[in-house]
Amino acid sequence: MGCGWRTARWTLSSAVALELQEPLDTLPCNASRFTLHASRLNTMESEQPPPTLTNPRFTLELEFVSSLANPYYLSHLAVTYPNLLGNSRDDDNGSSSPDAQAFAAYLAYLYSYWKTPEYSQFLTHPGPTLRALRLLQEENFRRDIILPQVIEGLVGVNLPEPPTEADTAVADNQPDGPNGKT
């Protein structure tokens, strides 16, 4: 029996299964979560079909890159899959693992076309999404994203404070014109 879909989260194994056009139950649960290589990504970039919401690969990648706008999702990735972001407990030699290199190439591939107007028009939050993709191009950021202070810094940049009830009441009582008259 395969891994199947995880509750309300896209896993990297589902992205690989979609790319291979194989059902998830053909991938073993303990398989590497990310197996695409940079050479394959270069050919995929040139073969990228025009964006349509009926294309399963497009919708999967749209949901994944949209999730990257959420700093807490980035934290989840860093904690759950530290090897993909270059954080390894046994990282004595300082070199990135093959999984981290492949994931970095995948992020570069995503950024290369999601920053174009043809694709960015589908993003609900293009600013934070493209900022996260751009930051994820940097190896230091991918390693540091596991730190809580980095996440809190991103939260401060991306999420404005929601208006309180008092702010809403004050705004409702404000006069419309510059002299208080409409």
Residue 135 has pLDDT above 90, yes or no: yes
List the single range of 29-43, 116-130, 157-171 with lowest mean pLDDT.
29-43
| pLDDT tens-place string over residues 77-98 | 999 999 888 887 655 555 678 8
* DSSP H or E segment with residue 14: helix 12-20
Per-residue tokens: 100: 């981290």
Domain ranges in the chain are 39-160
* Residue position matching structure tokens 């390693």: 143
pTM: 0.59
Question: What pLDDT is recorded for position 174?
Answer: 58
Question: What pLDDT is recorded for position 21?
Answer: 37
* Cβ atoms within 10 Å, residue 33: 19
Measured CA to CA, the distance from residue 39 to residue 162 in angstroms comes to 44
| pLDDT tens-place string over residues 30-88 | 334 444 444 455 555 556 667 888 889 999 999 999 999 999 999 999 999 998 888 87
Give phi and psi for 23, each to the nearest 5: -65, 155
3-class DSSP assignment, residue 116: coil
